[in-house]
Amino acid sequence: MADGLGLGDAYGATLGRIKGQGGERARLGMAALMWISHSERPLSADELCHALAVELGSPSLNTDNVPSIGTLLACCQGLVMVEKEASTVRLTHFTLQEYLRAQPDLFGAAHSAMAEICLSYLNSQQVKAFSTSPPSGLQDTPFLEYSSLYWGVHARRDLSDCAKLLALKLFDDYNSHASTKILLEAQEIWGVDADKFSGFGGLHCASFFGIIEIVTSLVEMESCDINQMDFTGSAPLHWGAQNGHEEVVKILLGRDGSGSDKPDNDGQTPLWRAAHHGHEGVVKILLGRDDINPDKPDNDGRTPLSWAAYSGHEGVVEILLGRDDVNPNKLDNGGQTPLSWAACNGHEGVVKILLGRDDVNPDKSDNDGQTPLWRAAYCGHEGVVKILLGRGDVNPDKPDNDGQTPLWRAAYYGHEGVVRILLGRDDVNPNKLDNGGQTPLSWAACNGTEGVVKILLGRDDINPDKPDNDGRTPLSWAAYSGHEGVVEILLGRDDVNPNKLDNSAQTPLSWAACNGHEGVVKILLGRDDVNPDKPDNDGRTPLWRAAYYGHEGVVKILLGRDDANPDKPDNDGQTPLWWAAYYGRERVVKILLGRDDVNPDKPDNDGRTPVWSAAYCGHEGVVKILLGQDGINPDKPDKVGRTPLFMAACRGREGVVKMLLAQGVNPDKPNINGRTPLHLAAWNGYKEVVKILLRQDNVNPNKLDKDGKTPLNRATENGHQEVIALLQPPEHAAPSPS
């Protein structure tokens, strides 16, 4: 393509200029182009600069050799640039990559040279000093990650004698090398502590990368144990099979005593690994042996066929099904068949292969009652749904253990195509209830899938206002979740009641207010037939709920109505203001107090006022706001004689205690048990509150409660030594050290 655009000559001329610089500049320019055009992933500027500073075979890294990125760019004569956002280096045009790759002699044996550089880096004293704990961020060794992950890839492509020797040197203590941890962490092995990567030796690594010459050398050593297990219970054969290295697999299987069918800690055999990753060649090699069980399940009951089906590897599936000793219907621990997994992941080709057999059950339910069709519908795989529905032995309306049908699940997740396919069947009930009494429409509304809602409402046999077991209608659920579009669609129907009460007597408006969905609240209040002040079974109105949860916007909207009582108490006598004060919702408190028809000192059924609740919870801001209101009694006791000060002292609310004392409240007022604020502060060990109260002239520190106990007695009961020291009479105080 470069030549087609007339760029070949231009690139050739520029390369000539780079080489013509001579010396170190020419070396840097050509080496940079080699790395950028042959690396396994884009390199950062730091990675490239450090790679170019490596001296082949040197025992130490010399940071003085690291060129600046500016120098490097200059040496490349405009053929290289730095991506600002990613800080990666790249060629200036994709055609340059094609041009460089088309010149095999330009860089010589590029991959072997790159492997040698990576291995020299890993064998350096600085890297070896890290042991298995490389520094976080790798700021001082930016090339460590790349060299750890990709040296073997380059070596597999082209292995020089030098690279082989360097690799064997690395393997002298590979189990404790920092690069081992980096390589294994990149595999995202679940359930294994990164600090416990042990037993992964040189043969494991060479098998992982598929470096045939090194594997051959290692297995010929007398000390080599080809069945050595690493931290996952994997032998070198497991890693070779997993990554599809056929020649490595053959070499390992050719050794006497190779554990060809030995499972790892998770029950995964080499065949299992090869099947899971779709390596047909390795699968055939392993199945050619008599000591291989082709249907051996792992610890989860998943066979090689199950995983091949799950991953959509059609070739492997066909190979395994060609065996008489492979059960195509074998259930895993969750009761799922290979067909179920293929359907779940939308692998149409595998589904067809499996259904082409007479011994595959297309409608088998798993332990949760979920069939292959259920799973395909759940995941929105229209093609698989059509294939399964083309069978006469598949029930399209079969519910799972929760009563949820394929239609129910497709509706919930908004898979419109699947919903249409299923509704095109006469044997699918669009109103079928799950165990909670919820219809497909109910959950489509709850999840806000407008397209599905419209499809379902387009049918004459759909009940748009059907309540579930809790009395919740589709509108109630849509309002609860804040789906304005669905709410508007449902309210456009004459057969939907916007005021319908659920079992707790909550309306759709109540649920919308509860969750702060202002848009839905406005839509509902835009109707004349919606009651904005309807209390539920606990006497809680939409405004009560909005105030309780601190939804300022909804509070303002509701207060804009003349027919919403801003001071309406619930069954416990607690008003919207009371609960806003209790939870410290300062802005809501201010909004409510801006109304003339809100009583700032209204007690609940137990005599507890808003300032009492705010003091109890220590909300200084709310207490300050309330104390600034006319008509507030800051010393008002509840029905058992507990004042706001009493509750603040009881809970150690120092700031609130100071505010209330500044209002001139009685600091020594007892409750019905004769206990004063000082009693409670001492009893609970609140030293600072005790100090504040003792500074009051009218506080009696020796006052007895109805049990005959003083504040000192109460502090002593609970062992609060600092409070005891404050309350103890001077003559009993411990002497000061001389």
pLDDT exceeds 90 at position 130: no
For 671, residues 6+ apart whose C-beta sits below 8 A from its C-beta are: 637, 640, 641, 642, 646
User: What's residue 8's pLDDT?
Assistant: 80
Q: Which helix (H) or strand (E) holds 20?
A: helix 8-20
Residue type at position 190: W
Residue 91 belongs to what H/E stretch?
strand 88-91
Question: Lowest-pLDDT range, 61-65, 188-192, 317-321, 509-513?
Answer: 188-192
Q: Average the pLDDT over 623-642 and give the result.
A: 96
What's the burial of 397, exposed, middle or buried (CB within 10 Å: 0-12/13-18/19+)? middle
Q: Which band of pLDDT confidence, cut at 50, 70 and 90, is reported for residue 729? A: confident
Q: Write the pLDDT tens digit of every residue in 430-452.
A: 999 999 999 999 999 999 999 99
Residue 242 has pLDDT above 50, yes or no: yes
The confidence band for 733, taking pLDDT boundaries of 50, 70 and 90, is: low
Q: How confident is the model at residue 191 (pLDDT cuts 50, 70, 90)?
A: low
Residue 654, pLDDT above cutoff 50 = yes
Overall size of the chain counted in residues: 738
Percent of the chain scoring above 70 in pLDDT: 96
pTM listed for this prediction: 0.85
SS3 for 207-264 is: HHHCCHHHHHHHHCCCCCCCCCCCCCCCCHHHHHHHCCCHHHHHHHHCCCCCCCCCCC
137 falls in which pLDDT band (50, 70, 90)?
low
pLDDT at 737 over 90: no
Whole-number pLDDT of residue 43: 96
Read off the pLDDT of residues 607-622 as tens digits, 9 standing for 90 and up.
999 999 999 999 999 9
Instruction: Check residue 714 and give its pLDDT.
Output: 96
CATH number, span 294-395 = 1.25.40.20
Q: Are 454 and 485 contacting, i.e. CB atoms less than 8 angstroms apart?
A: no
The continuous run of DSSP H or E covering 611 comes out as: helix 610-617
* Rounded Cα–Cα distance for residues 176 and 458 (Å): 66
Residue 199 has pLDDT above 90, yes or no: no
Q: Would you state the pLDDT for residue 1?
A: 43
| CA gap 280, 110 in Å, rounded | 30
Predicted confidence (pLDDT) at residue 93 exceeds the cutoff of 70 = yes
pLDDT (0 to 100) of residue 322: 96
Query: Of the given ranges (20-29, 485-494, 647-656), which has the lowest mean pLDDT?
Result: 20-29
> Taking the mean position of all CA atoms in its chain, how far away is CA 602?
46
- The arithmetic mean of pLDDT across residues 472-485, rounded, is 98
Decide if 663 contacts 627 (C-beta within 8 A). Answer: yes
The pLDDT of residue 133: 60
The secondary structure of the chain in percent helix, strand, coil, rounded to multiples of 5, reads: 50, 0, 50
Question: How does pLDDT run across 560-593, given as a tens digit for each residue?
Answer: 999 999 999 999 999 999 999 999 999 999 999 9
- pLDDT at residue 162 in the model: 95
Residue with the larger pLDDT of the pair 67 and 2:
67
Find the radius of gyration of the CA atoms of the chain. 38
pLDDT in tens, 106-123: 998 999 999 999 999 999
Lowest mean pLDDT among 97-111, 125-139, 526-540, 639-653: 125-139
For residue 174, name the pLDDT band (cuts at 50, 70, 90).
Answer: confident
Select the more confidently predicted residue: 3 or 536.
536
Q: Return d(Cα 23, Cα 164) in angstroms, integer.
A: 29
pLDDT of residue 503: 97
The predicted model gives 209-216 an average pLDDT of 96
Angle subtended at Cα 705 by Cα 700 and Cα 707, rounded to the nearest 5 degrees: 150
What pLDDT was estimated at residue 196?
67
Residues near 664 by beta carbon (within 8 Å), at least 6 away in sequence: none
pLDDT per position as a tens digit, 330-385: 999 999 999 999 999 999 999 999 999 999 999 999 999 999 999 999 999 999 99
* Average predicted confidence (pLDDT) for the chain: 93
Average pLDDT of the segment spanning 390-417? 96
Check: CB of residue 78 under 8 Å from CB of residue 14.
yes
Task: Determine if residue 62 is left, alpha or beta; phi over 0 gives left, psi from -120 to 50 gives alpha, anything else beta.
Answer: beta
**Ranges 223-232, 245-254, 637-646: which has the least confidence:** 223-232
Q: In the structure encoding, which two tokens stand for residue 120, read together?
A: 């020299």
- Domain regions of the chain by residue span: 294-395
669-674 average pLDDT score: 97
Q: Which residues, including other chains, have CB under 8 Å from residue 320's CB and lie 6 or more apart?
A: 275, 283, 287, 294, 304, 305, 308, 326
